[in-house]
Every structure is written in C-alpha cells, then in structure tokens.
Amino acid sequence: MAGNKKKTTSPAVKGILIVVIILCIGVMGFSAYKLISTQLEYKKSRDEYASLQDYIAQTGGRDEEIGTGTQTNSATEASSVSEELQKNKCPITVDAQGLLEKNPDFVGWIYMEAVEVSYPVVQGPDNDFYLHRTFEGTYNFSGSIFLDYENRKDMSSTVSIIYGHNMKDMSMFGSLKKLINEGKYADSPYFWIVTPEHEYRYRFISLEHTDAYSTVYSLYNDPSNAAVAYMMDRNTHSHVAYELPELTLDSRIVVLSTCVGADSPERFVVTGLLDMIDGEEIYGEDGSYIYAGEDPQAGGADSNP
C-alpha cells in the first residue's frame, strides 16, 4: 500500500550530511589542537621563567629582620631604625652577572609584590625581537618583558617604557589588570627594577587605560620640561588619585605597558616614579627632592633628543 512506503534519503542529502559531520569533527579537532597547543606554549614559558627564578633570592620578611616581643626603650629605638632600613631594602637580590652571561640583552629584574610580577627584563635591537621570544631566545607567544629599544639600557632615561603581554594565565604582565580590577594597587604602591649597577624602586603615580597610538608612548631619554609635563599628564589621567612630589628635571619614571585584548588597540599602563636608588630616598616626607647621591641621569651616551 502507498501508505506503507518508507521515506528514503537521497544520495545528495546523505553526502551533504556526511560533509557537515566531517566539518564539525574537523572544527572540533582543530579547536582541541589549538587549545592543547596554547596550553603547551604557556607551560613551556612558565617552566623557563620558573627556572630563571633561581637567579634571584628573597631578602627576608620584616619579622625575620626585627623580631617580636616586649622591648626596652633602646630595643624599641633599634627596632625603629631596623624597620626604616627594612622599608628601604630591596625585597630581592639578583644574580645579574649570571643572567648577563645567559643573555647579554639582560637589562634588569622587575619585581612587583602586589600582583606577583617577577621577571627578567631584556632589550632587543627593535621592539619586535622579544615580542615572541623568551629570555633564552626560544619562540613562544608569551615573549619577554622588554625595554623599548630606544631607551638607555642602564635605565637612566628620563622616561623608560617596558612592554609585556597580557597573558590569559596571568603570566608576564597579565596580572597588572588586578591592580584595578581587584584593587591590588592598595596592597603595595611599589615595584623594583634591579640592574647590574643599581636597585631602583618606583612608586605608582598613574594607572590608566589608553590606546596604542597615544602620546603615552612618547620617549624622553633626556631631562626636559616636556618630560616633566608628560609625567604630570600621566598622573592626571590615572584611575586612582596619587599625590605627586616635587617633580624636577632629575625626576625619572618607568611606564609599564600591556594590551587589554588581542584585537584591541586599548592598552593598560602603569607609571612608576623613581623614588629610591640603592636604599637612598629621592623625595622627603614633604615631597621635596632631596636626593644627593650619584646623578641618576649619569651614563648612557646613546640618547634621543
């Protein structure tokens, strides 16, 4: 009977269904491959930079330095002095010579306690070289934390710019966004850069969003009124209000830059004002410039106007 006839699928429709299934399997397989490849890239990068942590050492906590318990007046005074010394003490020591031997492009080690940034900084012949090369020169999307190739390698430029990727696993400069998103800026206002010559401490004066083509990326290697105006401008655009000390032609800053999204020109920028060199403070409690040590602008014959 006509009502009992079974519906059949034409060969053409079957072919289309098979192609669709194959395409879906292919897409799923490619997505899995990309995911696994990405995770392997992250792991390779994490493993390499974890091994480089052997070149640094923590200097010890405050309790370890000054102890606890009931104290006499003299002990209290000694404790007060010890606390002051500890406040000015760099939290890490760095085997700079060992890192230089491993990579002559080594600039220094950046350490930010608030969001657990701890990496070697390098400087390449241009700003592309270390974009996807690790400290040891291996190709990896994570790349390196690197100083702008036009800055002075000894960190003596008036404005130094350091770049790092915003990695999804929070490595490199991926954790910087926590300063705003999680309020981590309140945990500690400092970051350190330890070079073969000096220990530099910087304090936040600006946390801001900008774009890749803004004047934030202007370079000032030498002291100038324009550079001071640039520092004040960074402070003005900060999401968090920071009080500026007395800025002079000797003032120096470091700008830390990372992207916000892979396909976005938006950038997140952290600006730190140099406020201590080798344990010696640059600004007094009243904000006045009091540094009397070696000229912080000394060195670096190669400069830009």
pLDDT tens readout for residues 16-54: 778 778 777 776 766 554 555 555 666 888 899 999 999
Quote the tokens at residue 33: 């491959």
Tell me what pLDDT residue 69 has: 37
Higher pLDDT, 112 or 80: 112
Q: Which long-range contacts (CB under 8 A, 24 or more apart) does 127-135 make?
A: 127/163, 130/105, 134/45, 134/48, 134/49, 135/48, 135/49, 135/52, 135/102, 135/103, 135/106
Tell me what pLDDT residue 24 has: 76
Average pLDDT over residues 266-271: 98
Helix-strand-coil split of the chain, %, nearest 5: 35, 25, 40
- Give the whole-angstrom CA distance, residue 112 versus residue 272: 11
pLDDT in tens, 174-187: 999 999 999 999 99
- H or E element at residue 51: helix 11-52
Specify the range with the lowest mean pLDDT, choosing from 82-86, 88-92, 200-204, 267-271.
82-86
Quote the tokens at residue 258: 């990372």
Tell me what pLDDT residue 17 has: 74
Question: What confidence tier does 304 reach under pLDDT thresholds 50, 70, 90?
Answer: very low
Query: Strand, helix or coil at 4?
Result: helix
pLDDT exceeds 70 at position 81: no
Compute the half-sphere exposure of residue 160: CA atoms within 13 Å on the CB side of its CA: 27
Tell me what pLDDT residue 33 has: 47
- Give the whole-angstrom CA distance, residue 172 versus residue 166: 7
- Give the whole-angstrom CA distance, residue 175 versus residue 166: 7
Tell me what pLDDT residue 61 has: 42
Is residue 114 within 8 A of residue 272, CB to CB? The reply is: no
Question: What confidence tier does 161 reach under pLDDT thresholds 50, 70, 90?
Answer: very high
Beta strands in the chain (DSSP E): 56-58, 92-94, 106-112, 117-122, 145-147, 159-163, 190-194, 199-211, 253-259, 266-277, 280-281
Give CATH 2.40.260.10 domain extents, the chain: 96-281
pLDDT in tens, 184-210: 999 999 999 999 999 999 999 999 999
Tell me what pLDDT residue 20 has: 78
Q: State the sign of the Cα–Cα–Cα–Cα dihedral 178, 171, 120, 303.
A: negative
Question: What confidence tier does 4 reach under pLDDT thresholds 50, 70, 90?
Answer: low
Tell me what pLDDT residue 29 has: 67
Q: CB neighbours of 252 closer than 8 A, spacing ≥ 6?
A: 156, 157, 158, 159, 160, 273, 274, 296, 297
pLDDT exceeds 60 at position 84: no
Q: Quick one: what percent of the chain has pLDDT higher than 70?
A: 78
pLDDT in tens, 118-157: 999 999 999 999 999 999 999 999 999 999 999 999 999 9
The residue type found at 233 is: D
- Give the whole-angstrom CA distance, residue 203 versus residue 186: 12
CATH number, span 96-281: 2.40.260.10
